[in-house]
Structure formats: C-alpha cells, structure tokens
Amino acid sequence: MPDTFFNLIVARAAVEDSRPLRAAQQIGAVFFVTILTTAAAQISIPLPFTPVPFTFQPMIVLLGAAALGARLGAASQVLYLTLGIIGMPVFAASPILPQGIARLLGPTGGYLMAYPLAAFVAGSLAERGYDRRYFTAVAAMIAGLAFVFAGGVAWLALVAQPAGGLTGALAAGLYPFLAADLAKLLIAAGVMPALWFLVERQD
C-alpha cells in the first residue's frame, strides 16, 4: 500500500505542476481508493450500545482524499456508494439491513452519505498544501472527520430517533468513536508528509 500511495501522490504532483495526467491513471487511482474503502468496511466490529459499528473507513476516506485531492477523492466515495446502492457487497456487515440502497436509509446512512463531502473537504485542504506538514495534515483530516460525524449524528437523530434526541444521537454516534478515530487520524496524518518528502527527494 505505501508504494501505491506514493504513486498516487506523484500523480497528484503532476496535476499540480500542470503536466498531463492520463485518464487511465485517474480512474485507476479512484478505483484503488474505492477498493480500500470497501476492504476497510469488512473490518467491522459491532458494539452492543450503538447501532453504528466500529470500522476503519473514516481513516481510509480521509487518507485517500489527501492522496487524490478533492475531486478524485470525492469521486472515489461516490463510486463506493454507487456500488453499494446497486447491491454490491461493499458495506459493512449488518445483522439488520441487507446490502443495497436500504443501507443508506438505516442508522449508518448519514456516515456513508457524508463520505464524498468529507473527502472533498480533506482533499481540498490537501491540494492547498495542508498534507505536506504533519500538524496541518492533522487539521485537514479533522475537518473531513467533522463532516463524517456531523452527517452520521444528524442522520441518527432523524432516523433512529434515540431517546434524548440529539443528546442520544451524540451518545450513540459520536462519543464512543471519537477517541479511536482521532487516534487513527493522528497515525494516518503522518503518511502524506512522509510521501511528499520522498517525492521531493525524487525531484
């Protein structure tokens, strides 16, 4: 995976330098991040106190967006959702809802539907150079993660309607995941500055 992300960041550097990047490279990069998002969904840990499972998807969504940039990062997540809507087994396993569009109407739908926007936000900041230094990379990923949680919690409050309304949605959809997702983010944020360092040494 590091080699592939290195290739992605080299490709993005080519775009930023106004050198032509073939459509096949863009499509391949988008598909690669979509596949990673699908793989991350399969590592799903159900939690007894919330309908939202623990997965590694947010980290992959944000890291993929940092590597691809705003437009392609969002496209990778739109493709992921499209595959899920048509019934491909790309979503996390659920004892309640089958694969398909019904998953977007379930308690985790808000998180899933927020992925393209979160990727666009994190990718936009990466294109502005936020991914070249560790602390700014952290800030870019936190901005994207905020959209994931905002979408997820708002959807939980609207659809699942937990006891306590928004307070209950926060207890079910934010608080149990915040520390772990921030820890994953702090690790993931170190990847892009390291890759840029390697890219600059290649020049």
Q: Which amino acid is at 118?
A: A
Helix (H, G, I), strand (E, B) or coil at 62: helix
Q: What is the pLDDT of residues 87-104, one digit of tens each?
A: 999 998 877 778 899 889
pLDDT value of position 9: 58
- Cβ-proximal residues to 42 (8 Å cutoff; 6+ apart), any chain: 92, 93
By CB atoms closer than 10 A (0-12, 13-18, 19+), residue 201 is: exposed
Query: Tell me: domain 2-202, CATH 1.10.1760.20, correct?
Result: yes
- Prediction pTM value: 0.87
By CB atoms closer than 10 A (0-12, 13-18, 19+), residue 24 is: exposed
pLDDT value of position 130: 93
pLDDT value of position 51: 82
pLDDT value of position 2: 52
Question: Phi and psi dihedrals of 53, rounded to 5?
Answer: -80, 165
Spell out the per-residue pLDDT of the chain, length 203, in tens.
Answer: 555 565 665 566 555 444 445 677 788 889 999 999 999 999 888 888 888 888 999 999 999 999 899 999 999 999 999 999 999 999 988 777 788 998 898 889 999 999 999 999 999 999 999 988 999 999 999 999 999 999 999 999 988 776 778 888 899 899 999 999 999 999 888 888 887 777 667 65
